[in-house]
Amino acid sequence: MTLFMMSSILSMPIKRLRVLLLLVALLTACDLTPLNNPHPPEDSAGSVLYSSFSERPKHLDPAVAYSSNEYTFIGQIYEPPLQYHYLKRPYELIPLTTTKMPSVVYRDNKGNPLPDNATTADIAFTDYILDIKPGIQFQPHPALAKDANGAYLYHHLSAAQLDELLTITDFKSTGSRELTAEDYVYQIKRLANPKIQSPIAGVMQPYIVGFDALAKQLTAAPQTDLKTVNMSGVKALSRYQYQITINGKYPQFRFWLAMQFFAPMPWEADVFYAQPGLKAKNISLDWFPIGTGPYRLTENNPNRQMVLLKNPLFHGETYPDSGTPEDKASGLLNDAGKALPFIDKVVYTLEKETIPYWNKFLQGYYDASGIASDSFDQAIQFAGNGQAQLTPAMQAQGMRLQTEVQTSSFYMGFNMLDNVVGGNSEAARKLRQALSIAIDYEEYIAIFTNGRGISAQGVLPPGIYGNQTGQAGMNPYVYDWVNNAYQRKSLSVAKQLMTEAGYANGIDPATHESLILYFDSTSVSTEDRPMLNWYRKQFEKLGIKLVIRATDYNRFQQKMRDGNAQIFVWGWNADYPDPENFFFLLYGPNGKVKSAGENAANYHNPEFDRLFEQMRNMDDGEARMHLIQQLQEQVRQDAPWIFGFHPKSFALFHSWYHNSNANLMANNRLKYLRIDTAERDAKRQAWNHPNFWPLLVGLVLLVLLVIPAIIAYRRRAAATLQEVQQRS
Amino acid sequence: MIQYILRRCLYALPLLMGVNILTFVLFFIVNSPEDMARMQLGQKHVTTAAIQNWKQQHGYDLPLLWNDTQDSAKKLTETIFYQKSVGLFLLDFGVSDSGRDMSTDIKQRMWPSLALALPSLILGLTVNICVALMMVLFRNTYLELGSMVLCVMLMSISSLFYIIGGQFYIGKLLKLVPISGYASGVDAFKFMVLPVIIGVVSGIGSGARWYRTLFLEEAEKDYVRTARAKGLSETQVLFKHVLKNAMIPILTGVVVVLPLLFMGSLIMESFFSIPGLGSYTIDAINSQDFAIVRAMVFLGSLLYVVGLLLTDISYTLVDPRVRLV
């Protein structure tokens, strides 16, 4: 073979040989690895994080954005006055742009100050006084650009200027200015503006003094300049100090101050973006934020890619130097005291499908990944003790697994207005309790979530104040404490409860046939059928026939609003780590049918409502903890929900991805992350050598296939010609 | 011919109006303006006042098709249907319900769709014709039989399998191209290689069989026999005569899809993260953005009408016997 090749080369004409040598030289000179890199090669030099988004964020205006995919971006750009400590648990609020935690002053209905231990009944108003740090600058932005005379350059754009613009980066000049207390006040006024449609306007309206009055004023005169109007409960006391007055006592307000709704907004942004020509080019505050945070959005193409770059004017912050004892062991304190942020650039690419994302993650082109059900078995295996761990293949790649129980609850709710499953009668309560035992959510978690969740014992998920673990946190109506673990009560207990409820063996005394219950579900696809069948089987354990009423989401919402659903599945994700944010889902006046509130079960128990009203305004402490346990007990007994499960997130990180901590409350986690780019580059090179040989083999096979055909064709043509010649 | 084109354009108007009405009715049977408002405003803390406010700001506080509270012509014009439809006929798509200017979005998304669809079409057409001609050339041999079996096999495989299989084999195992992604300009090439190859390969089965049928029909005609009798070789007969005369049905299939290339491919764009128009409509349906749905359906219908018109015109170019009157 070698001799044949040598003789072929030697017999080759000189010109062809030169071309061949040139090709070989070119191929060896080119760095062929990695050919499959989807990122520009020049990005390798900097500290760039690669992530993705599957759905374009609808809003990036901090007054409107409320979804997690929106917070992914605005959490890094806008800075509310407070933030959560990145490492400490339980979750702890700390100053972000303020010099200290807000001063809280209680006042009576005449405005006189009250002591800190004043009773809730005496407190008519609460003042939150916030002192912001001087010297904080807004990111460079054309809305703040001024000429030599101090006039804004781009607040009155001409038609010619507009014609030259395609995106916000086309503005030649940018400017900045110092953050002042007025910017925070301005943003709170924006929340009240009906034109802006903030989702928390309805929540804040009863609390912030003057909120409702301003909303009405702006409804009557929509063109009013927000800068010139006042909100009686919100005012700047000085350049760096402002005050928010709320009605009564609402301790949870401090958590709202850590959300982007309360981030500052310069009035110039509204004036700049209000220019009609910009809107037509999709240049709006909803798409190009203006904040003070560690990052700024430099490219926003929600159809393809969004890019965050380090804000050159960021006021500076350091990595926390304290955390939980485990944090030190896991290396989360290795960067203590270092300047933030660590990453220069973050590229978010639109990835609609999980499979390509997962494969690119395995090739090292994404730094972190969740685990879709398709790839779960490839990534995770369970040890003998039930502990999730990485498969050997993932371990070989040096990956790390991070799991965390989410501060979310998924539950099966009963419509308490329903004649059969609802109401406060003993029979209905026992029916609900029996169903709570029969529906085996441990099995559900194992089958439908790959074990990613824990069964719920009550309303509160782990991580929320008031949640208890061990026997103290057990739901005694559904579980027994056996061998230091929860054990679901046997089906015989559920059947006994059914008998006591008047449905012995699941027979409805009214019809003398199986009791029929109706489950309204938005799960309509064929993929959901196993789950729906599973629910049917759970009800069948008690002799109950479950009728699934599959419906689209809009109709389902309508049924819920009208109170026409009987049994449904719902969920809630915590806004802030306080039990009020979960118990309010069962507060009577929040009933969905009655007042279009968040109480989807329409649960109404005067005792529960009384305890809730007492608990919600209390400061954390023994008395509050006691009330929370009373509330838990009440709900466990009444069982308006079958407490389903709290999902557990599984995240995978490459070995070069550092400082990731599952802080479920913080939206500004990006600034703490660090990438070891040298390690990433080395591993990418090692993992992505292209393989050409299968292509060559394919080519040879094709040639081998075609040559006999050509020979056969020529032979046939020759034979035909010969035949014709013979005939002639 | 100009008269013919004008007449076809006039025919298109009621057609587009009908499509517009149908889209409107179907959309609002499934979604009410309240549902749209809830979808746009999010799931948490949505109040009735906020919904009313959203509807008013986006023009969905009017009656759907008929406004009894107004006088004379305003009964028709002061409705959601009229207000949202008139602009379409002037190709002014306006602003989506989520607040983005749709013309800008469509212009941006159109090019990536074309970058994928155009090479796929041209290469696919070339490969399919070549394979079909080869099958005709080698007819009644094992090669034709094998090719036919292969074509049936290729047709039987789901397009999703080609995509996932292609990404797995070429992108993941061979590591020759990125698994998915997109870049503008020349950099788009390395991202387009894989989807174009997959697009071409997945279309060979049906395309080659279809063209083979056309060529076989043509190859049996008298003029072909005459050409052979003149002593032309089989390749000369096929490429110079058969191919030329089979162009009309080929054009019928190709020209009509040309304008629709702008509309993109949903699955390909979704799996390869190509920011084209393919997923624009589906995303809009999922987010109940009526403004985008009606604009895209209207645009699709318009392009289809244009495609049919272009097909008619192309007949006259390839076949002098055809006259448009």
Both tokens of residue B116?
A: 């994928």
Whether the Cβ atoms of residue B188 and residue B108 lie closer than 8 Å to each other: no
- Chain A residues with CB under 8 Å of B167 CB are 355-356, 359
Nearest to A304 among B32, B141, B275 (CB): B275
Give the span between the Cα atoms of A571 and A449, in whole angstroms.
Answer: 15
Angle ∠(B119,B120,B123) on CA atoms, nearest 5: 75
Mark yes or no for CB contact B179/A195 under 8 Å.
no
Both tokens of residue A322?
A: 């304290």
One-letter identity of residue A358: W
Q: Does A206 touch chain B (CB under 8 A)?
A: no
Mark yes or no for CB contact B101/A194 under 8 Å.
no
Give the span between the Cα atoms of A33 and A29, in whole angstroms.
Answer: 12
| Residue A449 buriedness (CB in 10 A; 0-12 / 13-18 / 19+) | middle
Strand-by-strand arrangement of the A295-301 sheet: A48-53, A345-350, A305-310, A295-301
CB neighbour burial string for A217-245, b if at least 16 within 10 angstroms, e if fewer: bbeeeeeeebeeeebebbbbeeebbbbbb
- DSSP type of residue A584: G
Interface test with A, best of B273, B274, B288 (most A CBs within 10 A): B273
Tracing tokens 């800008």 back to the chain, one arrives at B104
Higher model confidence: residue B253 or residue B302?
B302
Return the CATH number of the domain spanning residue range A408-649.
Answer: 3.10.105.10
Confidence of residue B70 (pLDDT cuts 50, 70, 90): confident
Taking 60 as the threshold, does the pLDDT of residue B318 lie above it? yes
Query: What is the helix (H) or strand (E) element at residue B115, kind and residue range?
Result: helix B102-137
Confidence of residue B54 (pLDDT cuts 50, 70, 90): confident
Taking 50 as the threshold, does the pLDDT of residue A611 lie above it? yes
pLDDT at A11: 46
pLDDT at A579: 96
Which residues have CB under 8 Å from A370's CB, separation 6+?
A: A649, A650, A651, A652
pLDDT at A21: 53
Dihedrals phi, psi of A567, to nearest 5 degrees:
-130, 140
Q: What is the mean pLDDT of residues A689-697?
A: 90
- Chain A residues with CB under 8 Å of B275 CB are 301, 303-304, 350
Q: What is the mean pLDDT of residues B18-40?
A: 85
* Per-residue model confidence as pLDDT tens digits over A328-371: 999 999 999 999 999 999 999 999 889 999 999 999 999 999 99
Can you name the CATH fold of A62-291? Dipeptide-binding Protein; domain 1 (3.90.76)
Q: Does B185 touch chain A (CB under 8 A)?
A: no
Nearest to B101 among A282, A362, A713 (CB): A282
Confidence of residue B82 (pLDDT cuts 50, 70, 90): confident
pLDDT at A42: 80
Confidence of residue A44 (pLDDT cuts 50, 70, 90): confident
Interface test with B, best of A299, A301, A360 (most B CBs within 10 A): A360
Radius of gyration (C-alpha) of chain B in whole angstroms: 25
Confidence of residue A28 (pLDDT cuts 50, 70, 90): very low
Confidence of residue B43 (pLDDT cuts 50, 70, 90): low
- DSSP type of residue A98: B
Average pLDDT, chain A: 91
Give the span between the Cα atoms of B150 and B204, in whole angstroms.
Answer: 10
- pTM for this prediction: 0.86
Both tokens of residue A51?
A: 């992530």
Mark yes or no for CB contact A282/B46 under 8 Å.
no
Taking 50 as the threshold, does the pLDDT of residue A2 lie above it? no
* Per-residue model confidence as pLDDT tens digits over A213-228: 999 999 888 777 899 9
- Chain A residues with CB under 8 Å of B273 CB are 304, 349-353, 356
Give the span between the Cα atoms of B227 and B246, in whole angstroms.
Answer: 16
Confidence of residue A253 (pLDDT cuts 50, 70, 90): very high
Q: Picking from A275-279, A376-380, B61-65, B252-256, which range would have the lowest pLDDT averaged per residue? A: B252-256
Query: What is the helix (H) or strand (E) element at residue A550, kind and residue range?
Result: strand A545-550
Q: How far is A388 from chain B (nearest CA, A)?
A: 26
Give the span between the Cα atoms of A697 and B228, in whole angstroms.
Answer: 38
Give the span between the Cα atoms of B298 and B84, in whole angstroms.
Answer: 12
Give the span between the Cα atoms of A591 and A639, in whole angstroms.
Answer: 16
Q: Does A35 touch chain B (CB under 8 A)?
A: yes
Taking 60 as the threshold, does the pLDDT of residue A373 lie above it? yes
Whether the Cβ atoms of residue A473 and residue A457 lie closer than 8 Å to each other: yes
Mark yes or no for CB contact B167/A359 under 8 Å.
yes
Torsion over CA: A229, A232, A233, A236 (sign): positive
For residues A358, A362, A364, A369, the Cα torsion angle rounded to the nearest 10 degrees is 40
Both tokens of residue A480?
A: 């027994």
Domain boundaries, chain A: 3-32+690-727, 62-291, 408-649
CB neighbour burial string for B150-162, b if at least 16 within 10 angstroms, e if fewer: ebeebeeeeeeeb
| Cα within 13 Å of Cα(A64), Cβ side | 20
Peptide bond into B63 cis (omega under 30): no
Which residues have CB under 8 Å from A339's CB, separation 6+?
A: A316, A317, A318, A319
**Interaxial angle between packed helices B102-137 and B278-286, expressed in degrees from 0 to 180 and rounded to the nearest 10:** 130
Give the span between the Cα atoms of A569 and A520, in whole angstroms.
Answer: 8
Q: How far is B160 from chain A (nearest CA, A)?
A: 12
* Coil, strand or helix at A348: strand
Query: What is the helix (H) or strand (E) element at residue A720, kind and residue range?
Result: helix A693-727
How distant, in Å, are the alpha carbons of A212, A345, A710 from that of A54? Answer: 37, 19, 50
| Residue A528 buriedness (CB in 10 A; 0-12 / 13-18 / 19+) | middle
Whether the Cβ atoms of residue B89 and residue B166 lie closer than 8 Å to each other: no
Helix locations, A298-380, DSSP H = 325-329, 354-362, 376-379
User: In which region does residue A266 sit, left (phi positive, over 0), alpha (psi from -120 to 50) or beta (all else)?
Assistant: beta
Confidence of residue B88 (pLDDT cuts 50, 70, 90): confident
Give the span between the Cα atoms of B183 and B181, in whole angstroms.
Answer: 7
pLDDT at A27: 47
Q: What is the chain A residue with the closest CA to B188?
A: A38
Give rounded-to-5 percent helix, strand, coil for chain B: 75, 0, 25
Give the span between the Cα atoms of A479 and A494, in whole angstroms.
Answer: 11
pLDDT at A6: 40
One-letter identity of residue B204: I
Confidence of residue A8 (pLDDT cuts 50, 70, 90): very low
In DSSP terms, A234 is beta-bridged to: A231, A244
Mark yes or no for CB contact B175/A691 under 8 Å.
yes
Q: For residue A458, which of A467, A448, A449 has the smallest C-alpha distance?
A: A467
Taking 50 as the threshold, does the pLDDT of residue A19 lie above it? yes
Both tokens of residue A484?
A: 């230091």
Q: Does A722 touch chain B (CB under 8 A)?
A: no
Confidence of residue A10 (pLDDT cuts 50, 70, 90): very low
**pLDDT more than 70, % of chain A:** 95
pLDDT at B53: 82
Confidence of residue A531 (pLDDT cuts 50, 70, 90): very high
Query: What is the helix (H) or strand (E) element at residue A350, kind and residue range?
Result: strand A345-350
Q: What is the mean pLDDT of residues A632-657?
A: 96
* Coil, strand or helix at A605: coil
Taking 80 as the threshold, does the pLDDT of residue A575 lie above it? yes
pLDDT at A727: 73
Mark yes or no for CB contact A356/B273 under 8 Å.
yes
Whether the Cβ atoms of residue A660 and residue A34 lie closer than 8 Å to each other: no
Mark yes or no for CB contact B50/A197 under 8 Å.
yes
Q: What is the DSSP string of A683-714?
A: HHHHH-----HHHHHHHHHHHHHHHHHHHHHH
Q: What is the chain B residue with the closest CA to A708?
A: B143
Q: What is the DSSP string of A497-543?
A: HHHHHT-GGGEETTTTEE-EEEEEES--SGGGHHHHHHHHHHHHTTT
pLDDT at A634: 97
Tracing tokens 């782990």 back to the chain, one arrives at A462
Dihedrals phi, psi of A550, to nearest 5 degrees:
-75, 135
Q: Picking from A474-478, B67-71, B87-91, which range would have the lowest pLDDT averaged per residue? A: B87-91
* Per-residue model confidence as pLDDT tens digits over A90-132: 899 999 999 999 999 999 999 999 999 899 899 999 999 999 9
Q: What is the mean pLDDT of residues B99-116?
A: 87
- Chain A residues with CB under 8 Å of B183 CB are 40
**Interaxial angle between packed helices B290-318 and B80-89, expressed in degrees from 0 to 180 and rounded to the nearest 10:** 30
pLDDT at A96: 97
- Chain A residues with CB under 8 Å of B144 CB are none
* Per-residue model confidence as pLDDT tens digits over B130-159: 999 988 888 888 888 989 999 999 999 998
Taking 50 as the threshold, does the pLDDT of residue A25 lie above it? no
**pLDDT more than 90, % of chain A:** 74
